[in-house]
Structure 1
Amino acid sequence: MEVTITHVVESVREVGKKGERLVIIAGKPGSGKSKIMRELSEMRGWVYVDSKTLLTDELFEMSPKARAGEAANIMDEVLEQKSADVILLDNTQVLFAPVLQVNPLTLLRRLSQKQTVVAAWPGSFENGELVYSGNMGSEPVSYSGEGLKVVAIS
């Protein structure tokens, strides 16, 4: 675990010099992504944000039709208000919900143009691709990891 935390800290330093400051921690459910993020929050003072809680609270008050496409705006506004050097974005599997009508990786990349974002990726990193396995029975979805800083854990 210590090696992974060190790797994430080094990755944050590396991306801090780029226009897109995104670090992905890729791992399947139960691999320890959340634990790493909470430890980083405590150790470094980085701001921990639970995407699921954030979006559920904000979207719950909207009508189903109004929810589509609003996830990106909500995430943008809330993270901007945090005004932190580094945001730890956990439980990002909520971004894959079809009702939100958002490309999760595109959203994460957009958010990382304003501040450094370390995001949990609910899946794996294989052959330069971020893979989201989805719910049981659904087909895995792959996204190009080109140009991304990815810390893969198993």
Structure 2
Amino acid sequence: MEPVTATVFIARPREEIIAYLSDVANHPEFKDHFLVDWHLTREDSEGVGAGARFRVKMPFNRFGWGDYTLVEISEFRVVERGRSGKFNRNRTMGTWVLADAPGDTTRVEYTYEAESNMPSDRLRESRGWWKRKTAKSLRRLASILEENRDRGGRVTVAGR
């Protein structure tokens, strides 16, 4: 699937947004409208190596489970790599790029990429669906960080 990119401007410092994004337990707060049944993959939900498993709520998706792990965190970028689909055979990557913007705001850009190896997996890809859901998640992220509203639940370790 071609990469899907969404952008939002948030009136918060870049460092605060990076700290928020580097804690995987915060991600369901703004992604829970299309990613559900979250579970952490380890107890420590912050930093490189932290990850989560979830189910993608996409129509006609029989193999909706996926996961991702934070593999890079810097002062301008957060990268998450994961797998999804049947037998976890599809590779996924999400990249958050943050840049200072005029007026004490931060430009937040999220790019989602998926690599499907099987023709049956490529048939189920819906770039428009991912674009809509990604754009909504960035709008929710902005409302959470700027106004402290529209907060969803925090994820916990499986079995708790």
Query: Fold match, TM over 0.5?
Result: no
Whichever structure has more strand as a proportion of its residues is: 2
Return the TM-score normalized by structure 1.
0.30
Return the TM-score normalized by structure 2.
0.29
Whichever structure has more helix as a proportion of its residues is: 1
